[in-house]
């Protein structure tokens, strides 16, 4: 079986509050800063509150979505008086934790997000990054309090728009269900366990452990489904059907109920067997869709270990 | 047993979007307007979207909380260039549905709210209003999809600050759990059933039915509990304990866990057996508390019927 070795992964960054109303990361980062948790064995830990003004205002963002600002093109453009706050902040974060694509970048960047959808713990990768997927496999094998799943987007690094793409390796942790503006103890505990297990993995990796390869299951997007809308006003005319609500990652088959019109009728799924994610997520600031559709994939992992000098 | 008679209750108003990010009322009102549901038998129905700019922005309010603007003092003050949008809008709504305390006011005003707390269906009254409490008793006896409870605040009408105080009789319907900005099908169905049952009760009342009195159970506030906070920054340092989260209306006894500090320790309840409500509600724009504490009361209702000319 294939084996891939990497240099030690000694610099780890944990970010929260990239979306200012997703509270698990905000309180996780504040607690790490309060405890001055800046080193665990071989791993130095930097904790960063990504968007402090949005956290203070309890809003997703102030002027533009910070987590769409990290493409190479946006990071390298000129800063003028008209540059939105979040793009300025993205360039600061890139200077602090990157620069993206450089040798100076942190080895692993983990950005914490929440969703109102019933996603439990979902790790999101923007590429088939063996380190990130091995950490997913490890967390999944150790965590008992909630299901752990992975969503693979597979985008070129230069076009990756989210904060974790600034690290040499990057993981977004998406945890829910949690309303915006609220911190739930159960969800906080899941986030804390995932971060602690990530640090544990990094320590084992740095100390010379080999992590066996094998097959892991993940989801990859194939499309999205919009709400039924009034053709004149564009307003939504249906809720997610109660039989689909909270059923993220459960297979949706042709004929299964998808929407309940406010007038009472049911709309059913047409097409292939697929897996809905981000069902009925609160995402007012973006083009809101009802849910994303994904298919299951199997990823064949090489074994990984630390590169000896 | 005592009997109280009232004039016919023929003018009913349903309001939603008083808080612009509580979506059940927004979609309930829009659907009623789409269906032109303006009369059911003896009852004329007016449906009103209370705060359209806040609904468009998906925010609780734009400048000040609309649902704190309906005291006699605020409604009667001068309108100047500095008057916040919501106070202007409160005066418009008072002209349309009131004026508060007058013969012209609608007979019953029902205002629909959502909470992120696990409150199911909770009717809120600002006084011991026999009509409102009889409607609560009726909804509770008919509804099977969710528990139905009542919270009695008992404030003088002139100081009642919320929209439903504009009607001759008023009820706030608080339904949850639902994240702000999200509409859930199950919660929408609860709201629709409660509104439909209210109209059914009004029709029966107007057609001469007598509603028997008796004892009903309700909750009344005795205080509130704040989150543990950092004495320097004022930031919260704990989540609601997972054993209390989602347990609104369940008795809290001395020694029961209340908070889970982000550092891991548990904080326990001290004091009397009480009932927590609005547990871990998202209420960023107001002074946020962890939950309200209530005690159970028994209300002895007279029978009610329509007053013959």
Give the count of Cβ contacts less than 8 A between chain A and B.
Answer: 98
Say yes or no to pLDDT of B228 above 70. yes
The distance of A149 to chain B (nearest Cα, Å) reads 23
Integer Cα distance of B179 and A42 in angstroms: 40
Tokens 């914490």 belong to: A112
pLDDT at B71 (0 to 100) = 95
The answer to whether A35 faces chain B, any CB pair under 8 Å, is yes
Sole residue written with tokens 């992120």: B116
Assess B189–A contact: CB distance below 8 Å, yes or no: yes
Whether residue A282 is predicted with pLDDT greater than 80 in this model: the reply is no
Mean pLDDT, range A267-272, rounded to an integer: 94
Would an 8 Å CB–CB cutoff place B240 in contact with chain A? yes
Percent residues over pLDDT 70 in chain B: 97
Residue of A179, A240, A282 lying closest to B185 (CB–CB): A240
Query: Angle CA(B282)–CA(B285)–CA(B291) in degrees, nearest 5?
Result: 40
Q: B236, B240, B230, B234: which is closest to B281 by C-alpha?
A: B240
User: Which residue among A189, A236, A239 sits closest to B184, beta carbon to beta carbon?
Assistant: A239
CB contact (8 A) between residue B180 and residue A180:
yes
Considering chain A, what is the average pLDDT of its residues?
94
Q: What ipTM was predicted for this assembly?
A: 0.93
Task: Check CB contact under 8 Å for B58 and A284.
Answer: yes
Range of lowest pLDDT (A119-123, A166-170, A221-225, B279-283) = B279-283
CB contact under 8 A, A184 and B280: yes
- pLDDT category of residue B126 using cuts at 50, 70 and 90: confident
The confidence band for B127, taking pLDDT boundaries of 50, 70 and 90, is confident
Give B3-45 pLDDT, tens digit per residue.
999 999 999 999 999 999 999 999 999 999 999 878 888 999 9
Question: Per mean pLDDT, which range of A204-208, A287-291, B114-118, B291-295 is the poorest?
Answer: A287-291
B229-260 tens-digit pLDDT: 999 988 899 999 999 999 999 999 999 999 99
Average pLDDT over residues B220-233: 92
Closest Cα in chain B, distance from residue A31 (Å): 7
- The C-alpha of B274 sits at a distance from chain A's nearest C-alpha, in angstroms, of 22
Strands B148-152 and B169-176: unpaired
A52 interface with B at CB cutoff 8 Å: no
Q: Is the pLDDT of residue A304 over 70?
A: yes
**Which whole number is the average pLDDT over B57-80?**
94
pLDDT exceeds cutoff 60 at B62? yes
**Nearest neighbour of A31 by CB, restricted to B116, B241, B262:** B262
Question: Which residues from A are below 8 Å from B289, CB to CB?
Answer: none
What is the arithmetic mean of pLDDT over B78-103? 96
Distance CA B33, CA B284 (A): 30
Question: Among candidates A89, A84, A13, A68, which has minimal Cα distance to A44?
Answer: A13
Strands of the sheet containing B214-225, edge to edge, are: B39-40, B43-49, B11-16, B108-114, B169-176, B120-125, B148-152, B214-225, B291-301, B275-277
* pLDDT confidence of residue A233: 87
Mutation target to probe the B interface, by most B beta carbons within 10 A, among A179, A237, A291 is A179
Q: Whole-model pTM?
A: 0.95
Model confidence at B287: pLDDT above 70:
no
Task: Indicate yes or no: CB of A282 within 8 angstroms of CB of B182.
Answer: yes
Residue B222 has pLDDT above 60, yes or no: yes
Best residue of B49, B282, B286, B289 to probe chain A, by most A CBs closer than 10 Å? B282
pLDDT of residue B280: 93
The neighbouring-strand residues paired with B294 are: B221, B275
Q: From the centroid of its chain, how far is CA A172?
A: 3
Q: Which residues contact B36 (CB under 8 A, 6 or more apart)?
A: none
Within 8 A of B178 by CB-CB distance, chain A residues are 179
Which of B269, B57, A191 has the alpha carbon at shortest distance from B279? Answer: B269
Distance from CA of B199 to the nearest CA of A (A): 17
pLDDT, tens digit, 9 for 90 and up, residues A12-33? 999 999 999 999 999 999 999 9
Judged by average pLDDT, the poorest of A139-143, B58-62, B202-206 is: B58-62
pLDDT in the model for residue A309: 66
What pLDDT does A51 receive?
98
Question: pLDDT confidence of A134, banded at 50, 70, 90?
Answer: very high
Q: Which residue on chain A is closest to B181 by alpha carbon?
A: A282
Asked if B49 reaches chain A (Cβ–Cβ under 8 Å), the answer is no
The pLDDT score that the predictor gives to residue B286 is 54
User: How confident is the model at residue B157, as a pLDDT?
Assistant: 81
* Res B133: pLDDT: 97
Please state whether beta strands B108-114 and B169-176 pair in parallel, antiparallel, or not at all (unpaired): parallel
Q: Please give the pLDDT value at position B233.
A: 87
Collapsing DSSP to helix, strand or coil, A269 comes out as: coil
- Closest to A245 (Cβ–Cβ): which among B31, B116, B186? B186
Residue A95 neighbours by CB under 8 Å, 6+ apart: none
Q: How confident is the model at residue A154 (pLDDT cuts 50, 70, 90)?
A: confident
Between residues A268 and A282, the one the model is more confident about? A268
Asked if residue A13 lies in contact with residue A97, where contact means CB atoms within 8 angstroms, the answer is yes
pLDDT of residue A127: 83
pLDDT value of residue A285: 54
Say yes or no to pLDDT of A284 above 70: no
- Looking at residue B298, what is its pLDDT? 96
Place of tokens 């919270």: B151
Detail the DSSP E strand segments found in A37-132. Answer: 39-40, 43-49, 108-114, 120-125
With b for 16 or more beta-carbon neighbours within 10 A and e for fewer, the A80-95 pattern comes to eeeeeebbebbbebbe
> Is pLDDT at A261 greater than 70 in this prediction?
yes
> Using one digit for the tens of pLDDT, what is the confidence trace for B141-160?
999 999 999 999 878 888 89
Q: Is the pLDDT of residue A287 over 90?
A: no
Is the per-residue pLDDT at B282 higher than 80? no
Backbone φ and ψ of B203, nearest 5°? -65, -45
| pLDDT value of position A40 | 82
Q: How many CB atoms lie within 10 A of CB A45?
A: 18
Question: Which positions in chain B touch A262 (Cβ < 8 Å)?
Answer: 27-28, 30-31, 188
Q: Between chains, do A239 and B180 touch, taking CB under 8 Å as contact?
A: no
Q: Are B222 and B295 in contact (CB under 8 A)?
A: yes
């Amino acid at each position: 079986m294939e084996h891939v070795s990497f240099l030690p992964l000694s610099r780890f960054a944990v970010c929260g509050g990239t979306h200012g109303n997703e509270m698990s990361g905000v309180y996780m980062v504040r607690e790490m800063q309060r405890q001055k948790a800046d080193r665990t064995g071989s791993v130095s830990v930097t904790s960063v509150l990504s968007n402090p003004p949005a956290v203070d205002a309890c809003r997703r963002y102030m002027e533009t979505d910070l987590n769409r600002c990290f493409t190479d093109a946006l990071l390298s453009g000129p800063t003028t008086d008209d540059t939105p706050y979040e793009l300025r902040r993205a360039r600061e974060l890139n200077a602090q934790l990157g620069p993206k694509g450089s040798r100076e970048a942190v080895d692993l960047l983990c950005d914490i997000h929440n969703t109102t959808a019933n996603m439990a713990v979902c790790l999101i990768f923007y590429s088939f990054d063996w380190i990130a997927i091995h950490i997913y496999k490890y967390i999944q094998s150790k965590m008992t309090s909630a299901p752990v799943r992975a969503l693979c987007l597979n985008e070129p690094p230069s076009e990756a728009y989210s904060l974790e793409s600034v690290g040499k390796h990057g993981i977004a942790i998406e945890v829910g269900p949690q309303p915006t503006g609220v911190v739930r103890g159960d969800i906080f505990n899941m986030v804390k366990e995932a971060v602690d297990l990530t640090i544990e993995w990094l320590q084992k990796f740095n100390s010379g452990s080999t992590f066996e390869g094998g097959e892991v299951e993940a989801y990859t997007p194939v499309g999205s489904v919009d709400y039924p809308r009034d053709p004149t006003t564009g307003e939504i005319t249906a809720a997610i059907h109660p039989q689909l609500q909270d059923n993220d990652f459960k297979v949706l088959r042709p004929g299964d109920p998808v929407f309940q019109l406010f007038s009472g009728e049911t709309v059913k799924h047409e097409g292939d067997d697929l897996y809905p994610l981000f069902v009925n997520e609160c995402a007012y600031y973006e083009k809101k869709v009802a849910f994303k559709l994904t298919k299951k994939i199997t990823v064949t992992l090489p074994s990984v270990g630390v590169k000896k000098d």
